[in-house]
Structure 1
Amino acid sequence: MTFKTTKLRDAISLALVAGATFGASSAFAQEAETAGATTLDRIEVTGSRIRQASVETAQPVVVLSRENIENMGVTSVADILQNLTSAGSPAISRGDVLASGENVGGYYIDLRNLGASRTLILVNGKRLGANTTGLQDLGQIPASAIERIEVLKDGASSIYGSDAIAGVVNVITRRRFEGAELNAYYGQLNEGNGTNQTVDFTIGTSGDRGSVTMSIDYGKEEPIWARDVWYARDGSRGPAFPGAGWSPVSQNGSFCDPCTPSSAAVWWTLIPGQDPTDRDSYQVHTAAFNANSNEQMMARTGIERRSIFVAGEYDVTDNVRFVADALYNHRETTQTVAGYPFQTAAFGIPLSGDSAFNPTPGTDLTIRRRLWEVPRTTESNLSTYRLTAAFEGYFELGNTTWDWDAGGIWNRNEMLKVGRGDASLAAMDLAMGPSFVNAQGIVQCGTADNPIPLGTNLGAGECTPVNPLLPYGVAGAGSLSDPNVQAFLFPYYHDRGLTESTTYFANLSGTLFELPAGDLGIAVGYEHRNEQGRFVPDAFNQAGLSTGLPATTTAGGYKLDEFYVELAVPLLSEVPGAHELTLNVASRYSDYSTFGDTTNNKFGLVWRPVEDLLVRATYAEGFRAPSVDNLYGGVGGSFESYTDPCGSTGPGNVAGGATCTASGVPADYVQLGQGLVPCSTFPCQTPDQFLSGSNPNLTPETAETMTAGIVYSPEWVSGLDISLDWYKVEIDNLIASDSVTDILQDCYLRGIAERCTLFTRDPTDSHINALNFSLTNKGRLETEGYDLGVRYRLPETAYGNFSFDWQVSYISEYNLWANNNPDTVAQPSVSFAGTFRTRSNLGVDWQYGDFGATWTARYYSSMKEGCAVTASYDPTYCNIPDYVAPDVPDGLPLRKVGSNTFHDVQFRYNTPWNGTVSVGANNVTNHHGPIMFSAPNNQFAYYGGFDFGRTLYMKYQQRF
């Protein structure tokens, strides 16, 4: 099948609505390659199942070629995609070092800020396996195996089923590769840490009837420590407020006397060099003894990956081919966070009055002690196995050609998490219980009449006593630095996870008959999928027998059958006012074993009034089915950060209001944080674990997506391509975790009485001591915006080839409703941290013979966040003191920070021996983003999607 190429067709094949940060010349190299072809096999473009020679569709598709990827200074698929201007905040940034569960260490992409679970990931048009939370790890795919990446920024549930609400990422791997290729990358932050190194090797061979291509990747990113990062080393509020957020539960150890009321408790800590068993050896614990937990925290987790990808094909007959690919990936992720802030009041384990270490014999003591000597470290190991096999071919029926394929996919993820640093409560109870000095002068658990054998085997009835009042670095009996004490109190914990997905599919596409304007194309297909998963926390955590967060087993699965049909109907062709007019219609029926069935439809229109102008529009229905974790997840615990509306010092409070008073909260109540110390900064972390869990009664999210746009490649300006696309997405029955903030605001600000039943307060000091929340189909989300793309390739000059690429994504609306009640007021989120109103990338590429260079500027518009005006804050930081929005009509103090631009450069040289040397710097100016007290997508006061600092790197490629 042949067709005449046009500038417009080339432009669409290059996906002019892209938001990537690659140099423009490499993209135009792809354009030139496409333009040079006059006869192409029928291809399947992401977003359509109908195979065709033309790449033009009604939907906006971004194409990142292999050359684009090689001209970037990043090494993972997710980092490549995160630089798209349409990409939202990272789902789990590497700075979320307190994140737990299966997702840690994975790379996920979030299009349109709609959530990573609403972006579907495909490999060669087939689903990538997901874990029990429904997230698909792009890091499983070795970058060396990639031929190109196609990103559909439109709803596609009618084509691909669940999850394709925000869009689809389709990773196309290399096939029929001939020869060998070696790549090496070494990068490092300018501070000298955060080393990143990768090595990959690809080899392939092909013959008359088949081919085999194999890629092997190894990559290792060293962790970055918070103590080495400018925005974290001084504490949780950044360098502007050193010491802010430091915890009174410190490595120095302290006891309270008196202990009540909690807000007025006096805490005592050991005077350096004094006798820990003498009550007079203690002084009042002041802020000078507080703990800067960031000294022990990672600012970025460490990760190590090994991948093997093999793709092969064999022509069984002239029109039947067998294709298969196999993937193995092993990921090791290391997290380290500060030692656990142990508070005996939370567990009912005081330092016994009969302990040999008690400075007030006969009186049990309430203790606070951060277990600094044994930081909490978790190593997550994930192994992924994936196999795809299918037969594909074509046959002639009359004067038309029909394409078909049928096969299966098997994907399995096996996870093992090994952690240490949380204390065994049973061991701690014994170690802090009665103890005495035996005849050998050694402190021993128990009493002289009923001693407990010394040792570290709790199960064998042994015990090693601990003195929690000895500060970190101070030796002595019972010190937490004693290896025997550590061996007794800190066991190793093991969590295990397993997910398995099996899919069978069959597809058929071809031409029903010829219409006056062209062929009436059709595609039909069937898919059966079986998803199973479980995640089993350590028995200690399941039983609540450690200081770790409680968690129970997630286990379950579901099956589904799906049928789809798609039609491409040419209406007009080569007539005045309609060089082309084509209608695309698709529908998919899905039957789930969990919630029942659903049907989703899509309509698309392509109109080309003249040859160099295309107008396109789509309307799509979509859905996202609840994941295994959504439906069958266990109960988990967390220490949430929030602002109590009844606190008299928090922002936007209603202290003294009728609802607060009815709850028994006095008008002068001050919110209590860790250690039951009054909060001075907000949001403030609770001293108590709150519980959350799944919901087996969840129903699917439903969505409507609309897009419209133009693509213009004027014949009178050679090398210029312009595109503009509008989109609007509406999601109902939103599956989301309820939040502490929503619950408290619903109770105290919105007067929803049933929400007040989800938490309790301590009757003596009024702090919230228990709260339960779970997943619900609670809300609605709407977002609307525009994508602009301008590319221009200058005519060849005596100084080389220059090309420019400017991409902009603009969010005009992003509103979230707390529930489906139409009377609920929308919460606008545009320009709040992470949801940038504008993201823009400008790239300039230069190529002169064997030399080349790329410069890219990445722009992020300003951000807002909530703030508090307290003694520890400069009031000028709240530079929007009376922010008014539909959800806060009476005004709320906010803080606004300016825009940020990061610059990347790369220089490259093609050697005479068929190699390429590249050197570059990401964020070459070492630009620092602003401190964000709300810590968006991060554990620290900095936006998790921004660069840590300047990254210098060198790449070498050798082709054989």
Structure 2
Amino acid sequence: MNCKTTKLRDAISFALAVGTVSATGVGAAFAQEASSDQTTTLNRIEVTGSRIKRTDIETAAPITTITRADIEAAGELSVSDFLRNNVYNSFGSTRESSGSATGSQATINLRGLGSAYTLVLIDGRRMTNSGALAGGAANINMIPTSAVERIEILREGAGAVYGSDAIGGVVNIILRKDYEGMNVTASYETSSEAGPDGNTLSVSGGISSDRGNVTFVLDHQQRDMMFNRDVRDKIPAALWTAGLSPYNSSATFLGGAGLQSVANCDQFENSIRISATRCAFDHGATSANESSLRRNALFVNGNYNLTESTQFFFRALNSETRSLGVYASAPVDNGGRGPGLLPTISATNPFNPFGEAGTLYYRFTPLGTRDSIRQDKQREYMVGLNGSNEWFGGADWEVSLGHGLNSQNSVNYNYGIGSTLQQLIDSGSFNPFDPTHASVAANAGRIGHTVFVESQMRSVTGDGHISFDLFEMPAGAVGFVTGFEYRDDRFTQTYDAQSAARNVFGSAGAGGEGERSYYAAYFEALFPIFESLDVTLAGRYDSYNDLGSKFSPRVSLEFRPLDELLFRGTWGKGFRAPTLVDMYGDSSSTNLNSPPVNTLSPPHAGGDELACAALTAVRTATGDAAYQPYPVNPCTSSGQYTWLVSSNPNLTPEESTNWGLGVVWSPTADLSFALDYYDVELENVIGTVPRALAFRNGDAGVPGYGVTRGAPITAPNGTVLPGAPNLILLPTDNGALQTARGLDFEASWRFQTDSLGTFNTKLAWSHQLEYDFTPIAAGTIERAGTATFPEDRGQLALNWTGGIYNFGVITNYIGSSSNGTAATTLPSWTTFDVQAGVSLPWKAKISVGARNVTNKDAPINNALFGFPFYSNTLYNMYGRMMYMKYEQNF
């Protein structure tokens, strides 16, 4: 089609041609000076957030485009590492953490709303979510880096286009297609400090004919494990001691006098004396901080022209990862009577040196560390037809069928059966106070247990749409698209019989299964009201077999008073369906921290108010401010307790309202600025009740709540204190509220010289104006700027290309944050990444670089984090990571 171009449209066409539209985290287009009456033939393209093809990339929706060159310039090992550093991943996101059910997983979390509120697409269609993440989010570790052509990030909700989950934004990972030739790329990276070594190897190729193309990618990636002991020198000794656990290989005894250890407790491996009467276990000496990860993937993309107007296309992605996580030997948090119910010992037991009955905080060490081997598989298959015909005066259409499968098999060694251990203790056949005693080794095999977990998320999909010009208006044709989508999801998660019966200690989680299907119908219409004003209306109707139906509308405006100036605005509704686990999963036990009572004011008081009040009264009565009989001080320490989280079949969808305003100014062909305001409001948010409320209602006997405590503790003055909490029920429900508001700023400048090469400067900055959360049945918490919720993230990329050489520097910034005191303040974190490359005469290129070249340590804070005292969703402890990459084209 012929269309009259504006300066901005010419600029976009030029920028696409030279590959300079976007930067690392920057997606503003360049403007180009052109005659206002110039007429050019431009191809219409479809961008993320709209199904109407158009010539303008800058639309009413704010989109950041990340090119393949941007990913390569950052020198990151994986797509997940690259996206974790993106400024719109506001508060960080999950990485492959050892000792966690997410040990092989990585997610993206736009606006900090949670990974479940960021929709991940592959080539514009939903990526099958992870079974290991309960079907709630996609595992982007499964994406082979070398298969990625570009990534488009829609920085606002898009429920009217994509349906559920597209609330915080949309990440569209667009894979390579129509490639010709052959490329082999290999890289290796290593750290000057504690960071894990890694390597990649990929082979990419493509064959074309006059009727079609087949593109393939073979991709291998490997990263080693990082142990906590590798970062020990980064953590002050006092903090390391604060992270020690009362669950010890020489059991810590809880009786009437509080916690005590045997006299020789410090003679055993990793058992550290912390007072005259107590030892604690150094779990950091043996546990890993991050899991190892090895991925192998095959990707094939093809198309074939059946006729001049009809094309067949297909895509297949087969990705497999294997990860190993190592965690400290298992704490016996299940004494055979259920999760959180610790083992006990009688006063007459021959191995009991304390002369009274008590509870044991015991760690089962004879079998060694808990080792978890996880094998993940991602299968994404899709076939379809697209084409054009003369319907409605000229229409484009597309239909497709897809099948997705994400599965994980997890084998977890060196756990144990609590009831067997308790029976052995009761019979006097097992000494829990001496890990070197003959009875321990003799019975280790009887107690030990291997946990097997299988998780699977399966999706079957069908979709189609047709687009055409609906009618003519004075300013142009009304573009229109309508379509349908069908999806059937099935989730299953199964545990071995002992784990399912909750007989295993040192392990958490639960099985469950569910199936859901839905169909959707949608439309989108673009009205050119004037030459300078476009209005787009969109709507989507989703009907679920178990949740009813939802309608999501959207209105957007684009106003161009000048060729180089765009004002834009959007308003829309969205929703997020409860996951199948939220509704149908088995109750699961998990270990979670609860904030101390004295650090927060009502209604956000911390966890164990009952114990804190009783302890405070005893201290006042006796004058002994140091008296502390509990494993964790309920008044001043962030205690980790065992919680039983329940599903709820009566949950309803969460609802969102998104709106935004923005301006894009491109005064010259090589200079562009964009400023956008976003506003997200979430209602009916699904979550667990506040942990303080769970404690309070459980102690009060409110139906649906409960706190199971150990034996009462007798204080020195005879006062009976409530026992330590062993298990707390944590119900799930609708009712929380979430608000996020902020500003995004992007700028790019391209400076080309005749003799000194080309310089590119690109900036992205995101600022949180407001980030409020109102838990169920509680008051609002203002989180923006508080610790782990930084108000600012920024990224500045400076690149130079001259002949066969290139050089670049990327500055990454995470702002400071504080809970209002010096003890709860995190400083800002700024790192610098550098890369230099040279192209060689034999169609090769060598690149060398370093991430975090100044070797900046992550912020450490024991008042905010448990061991190892930093947030690995926001930061890493890799130190300076140096790498080399070699590319060979054929």
Both proteins in one fold, TM over 0.5: yes
In structure 2, the CA distance between the partners of 1:746 and 1:289, relative to structure 1 (3 Å rule), is closer
Alignment of 1:9-408 (within 5 A): 9=9, 22=24, 39-95=41-97, 97-100=98-101, 103-131=102-130, 132-191=134-193, 193-230=195-232, 238-239=236-237, 241-251=239-249, 253-254=250-251, 256=253, 260-261=255-256, 263=258, 265-270=259-264, 286=276, 289-342=279-332, 347=341, 349-350=343-344, 358=351, 367-373=360-366, 374-397=368-391, 400-408=393-401
The equivalent residue for 1:449 is: none
Matched residue of 1:45: which SS? coil
Matched residue of 2:306: which SS? strand
Matching residue within 412, 415, 425 for 1:419: 412
Asked if the contact 2:124/2:172 (under 8 Å) is kept, the reply is: yes
In structure 2, the CA distance between the partners of 1:921 and 1:6, relative to structure 1 (3 Å rule), is farther
The equivalent residue for 1:614 is: 566
CA offsets 1:734-772 (integer angstroms, 9 cap, x no match): 112334145458999xxx995995435555432434311
CA offsets 1:371-400 (integer angstroms, 9 cap, x no match): 2342112111111211111111010246x3
CA distance in 1, matches of 2:185, 2:627: 51
The equivalent residue for 1:450 is: none
In structure 2, the CA distance between the partners of 1:772 and 1:359, relative to structure 1 (3 Å rule), is closer
Matched residue of 1:81: which SS? helix
Asked if the contact 2:153/2:172 (under 8 Å) is kept, the reply is: yes
The AA in structure 2 aligned to 1:77 is V
Q: CA deviation at 1:527?
A: 0.9
Matched residue of 2:390: which SS? strand
Q: CA deviation at 1:250?
A: 2.2
Q: CA deviation at 1:367?
A: 4.4
Matched residue of 1:794: which SS? strand
The answer to whether the aligner puts 1:805 opposite 2:753 as a matched pair is no
Greater displacement, 834-843 / 661-670:
661-670
Matching residue within 523, 526, 542 for 1:568: 526
Greater displacement, 719-728 / 78-87:
78-87
The AA in structure 2 aligned to 1:589 is Y
In structure 2, the CA distance between the partners of 1:936 and 1:392, relative to structure 1 (3 Å rule), is farther
CA offsets 1:240-293 (integer angstroms, 9 cap, x no match): 534113123323x1464xx53252x5431447899xxxxxxxx99747732221
Q: CA deviation at 1:669?
A: 5.9
Identity %: 27
CA distance in 1, matches of 2:22, 2:529: 34
Q: CA deviation at 1:347?
A: 5.0
Q: CA deviation at 1:467?
A: 3.6
Q: CA deviation at 1:668?
A: 2.7
CA-based RMSD:
3.6
CA distance in 1, matches of 2:754, 2:278: 66
CA distance in 1, matches of 2:232, 2:611: 45
Q: CA deviation at 1:43?
A: 2.0
CA distance in 1, matches of 2:317, 2:547: 32
Alignment of 1:685-834 (within 5 A): 685-686=639-640, 689-715=642-668, 718-741=669-692, 743-744=694-695, 757-759=705-707, 763-764=712-713, 765-766=721-722, 767-819=724-776, 825-834=779-788
CA offsets 1:340-367 (integer angstroms, 9 cap, x no match): 2337976565567898x73769987754
The equivalent residue for 1:554 is: 512
With normalisation by structure 1, the TM-score equals 0.82
Matched residue of 1:665: which SS? helix
Asked if the contact 1:23/1:844 (under 8 Å) is kept, the reply is: no
CA distance in 1, matches of 2:466, 2:265: 80
CA offsets 1:55-103 (integer angstroms, 9 cap, x no match): 34211111111111111111222222222211123332334x3422xx4
The equivalent residue for 1:490 is: 448
The answer to whether the aligner puts 1:947 opposite 2:872 as a matched pair is no
The AA in structure 1 aligned to 2:857 is H
CA offsets 1:438-468 (integer angstroms, 9 cap, x no match): xxxxxxxxxxxxxxxxxxxxxxxxxxx6443
Give 5+ residue unaligned stretches, structure 1.
Answer: 275-282, 436-464, 574-579, 867-877, 880-893
CA offsets 1:120-170 (integer angstroms, 9 cap, x no match): 111111111113332112222211111111111111111111111111111
Matching residue within 587, 593, 598 for 2:545: 593
Asked if the contact 2:345/2:352 (under 8 Å) is kept, the reply is: no
In structure 2, the CA distance between the partners of 1:760 and 1:599, relative to structure 1 (3 Å rule), is same
CA distance in 2, matches of 1:930, 1:239: 16
The equivalent residue for 1:470 is: 434
Q: CA deviation at 1:21?
A: 7.0
In structure 2, the CA distance between the partners of 1:432 and 1:816, relative to structure 1 (3 Å rule), is same
Alignment of 1:438-587 (within 5 A): 466-471=430-435, 474=436, 477-480=438-441, 485-549=443-507, 551-573=509-531, 580-587=532-539
Matching residue within 783, 795, 811 for 1:841: 795
The equivalent residue for 1:445 is: none
In structure 2, the CA distance between the partners of 1:344 and 1:920, relative to structure 1 (3 Å rule), is closer
In structure 2, the CA distance between the partners of 1:701 and 1:919, relative to structure 1 (3 Å rule), is same
The equivalent residue for 2:716 is: none
Q: CA deviation at 1:221?
A: 0.9
CA offsets 1:790-845 (integer angstroms, 9 cap, x no match): 111123153221121111111111111124x8xx6421000123322111111110
Matched residue of 1:220: which SS? strand
CA distance in 1, matches of 2:23, 2:81: 11
With normalisation by structure 2, the TM-score equals 0.88
Q: CA deviation at 1:859?
A: 1.2
The AA in structure 2 aligned to 1:44 is E
In structure 2, the CA distance between the partners of 1:164 and 1:722, relative to structure 1 (3 Å rule), is same
Asked if the contact 1:936/1:944 (under 8 Å) is kept, the reply is: no
Matched residue of 2:362: which SS? strand
Give 5+ residue unaligned stretches, structure 2.
Answer: 620-624, 714-720
Greater displacement, 668-677 / 325-334:
668-677
The AA in structure 1 aligned to 2:520 is E
The AA in structure 2 aligned to 1:392 is N
Matched residue of 1:169: which SS? strand
CA distance in 2, matches of 1:818, 1:129: 29
Asked if the contact 1:655/1:668 (under 8 Å) is kept, the reply is: no
The equivalent residue for 1:890 is: none
Asked if the contact 2:334/2:504 (under 8 Å) is kept, the reply is: no
Greater displacement, 501-510 / 78-87:
78-87
The answer to whether the aligner puts 1:852 opposite 2:806 as a matched pair is yes
Asked if the contact 2:239/2:862 (under 8 Å) is kept, the reply is: no
The equivalent residue for 2:8 is: 8
Asked if the contact 1:923/1:950 (under 8 Å) is kept, the reply is: yes
CA offsets 1:11-43 (integer angstroms, 9 cap, x no match): 66879xx9997398x9989999xxx99544432
Q: CA deviation at 1:938?
A: 8.2
Asked if the contact 2:255/2:358 (under 8 Å) is kept, the reply is: no
Asked if the contact 2:698/2:707 (under 8 Å) is kept, the reply is: no
In structure 2, the CA distance between the partners of 1:937 and 1:847, relative to structure 1 (3 Å rule), is farther
In structure 2, the CA distance between the partners of 1:390 and 1:343, relative to structure 1 (3 Å rule), is closer
Matched residue of 2:24: which SS? coil
CA distance in 1, matches of 2:230, 2:361: 27
